[in-house]
Amino acid sequence: MKISSPAFQHNQSIPSKYTCDGANINPPLTISDVPKDGKSLVLIHDDPDAPVGLWIHWLLWNIDPKTTEIPENSIPNGAVEGTTSWKHTGYGGPCPPDGQHRYFFKLYALDTMLDLPASTEKDELETAMKDSVLAKAELIGLYKRR
């Protein structure tokens, strides 16, 4: 399974358009090679370099496994957005207070759909999916405020 973006390459800079310094919308993402027995996809977007510890920027689950792209500023039909570290649902772009940070887009293929409310946070999501992961892919983007 693979996840990539036409907006930036793996381990390269995320354009400011997708950050708090720009439009603060999600970047376009491309998905491929999902396992045939996958029932849903999960996307976790986080920053492990945040001063307060892991910062959650976006949680999405119940993405149709036939999804091949998530266009910028959109979520796939039927997907559920969870609660981020900002305590709201939806995408929140990179906005590091200092230095360059790494931003992970982690994609998981599951053998099930998840019955979780939008108030779900990352720890609850990971607990719900832990025994159902078929495959994982990762895209890392970098960002430093100017």
* Mean confidence (pLDDT) of the chain: 97
Pull the structure tokens for residue 110: 């599951």
Q: What is the CATH number of domain 2-143?
A: 3.90.280.10
Q: What percentage of the chain carries pLDDT values higher than 70?
A: 100
Half-sphere exposure of 145 (CA within 13 A, CB side): 10
Domain chopping of the chain, boundaries: 2-143
Whether the pLDDT of residue 146 is over 90: the answer is: no
Contact 14, 141 (CB under 8 A): yes
Predicted TM-score (pTM) of the model is 0.97
* Residues 6 or more apart whose Cβ sits within 8 Å of residue 53: none
Q: What percentage of the chain carries pLDDT values higher than 90?
A: 98
